[in-house]
Amino acid sequence: MKDCLFCKIVKGEIPSERVYEDDDILAFKDIAPAAHVHILIIPKLHIDGADALSHDEPKHAEIAGNLIMTAGKLAHELGLKDGWRIVTNVLTHGGQTVRHLHFHLLGGEQLGDFGSKLLF
Ligand code: AMP
Ligand code: ZN
């Protein structure tokens, strides 16, 4: 999508610190890390968010599975043996600021309690 920040990162028009890439998925370091390890895992195909995933779209189920599998693979490779978290924010109430589906992979330290008001 033309004016989408993450589509520009996929195309290399905006620089990023890439940590993983395959035909369908890109993972790169978050520019404002909320934890010692904070990686964004995105589909190369523009999908607005988790709310826009649809069984009517041929590749969506495969991509959604690959995003989560990639999180596990990266967590293992990065040595997050004591645990980690994936988060996807959706629309305004969910705190989504970039409208291109992404999972935050967070770890490398004790993460905040979901009972608190902290997002991460
Ligand atoms: P969200 O608020 O869930 O939509 O997450 C968007 C994330 O993108 C935030 O954690 C930002 O820090 C991150 N972000 C914004 N611009 C960039 C960029 N150019 N490179 C890497 N991460 C970015
Ligand atoms: Zn996009």
Give the model confidence (pLDDT) of 7-17 as tens digits: 999 999 999 99
Of the residues 55, 93, 100, 102, only one is catalytic, namely 102
Measure 98 CA to ligand 1 centroid, in angstroms. 7
Task: Using the predicted structure, report yes or no on whether residue 118 has a pLDDT greater than 60.
Answer: no
Note if 60 is an active site residue: no
Tens digits of residue pLDDT in 69-107: 999 999 999 999 999 999 999 999 999 999 999 999 999
Q: Which ligand is nearest to the CA of 18?
A: 1
**117 is written with which tokens?**
């008001």
Task: Using pLDDT thresholds of 50, 70 and 90, give the confidence band for residue 120.
Answer: low
Res 16: pLDDT: 98
Task: Using the predicted structure, report yes or no on whether residue 117 has a pLDDT greater than 80.
Answer: no
Entry pTM: 0.95
Tens digits of residue pLDDT in 48-66: 999 999 999 999 999 999 9
Measure 115 CA to ligand 1 centroid, in angstroms. 23
Among protein residues, the one with the nearest Cα to ligand 1's atom 18 is 31
Residues near ligand 1 with C-beta < 6 Å?
5, 14, 16, 30-32, 40, 89, 95-98
Q: What DSSP line would sit under 68-98, residue for residue?
A: HHHHHHHHHHTT-TT-EEEE---HHHHT--S
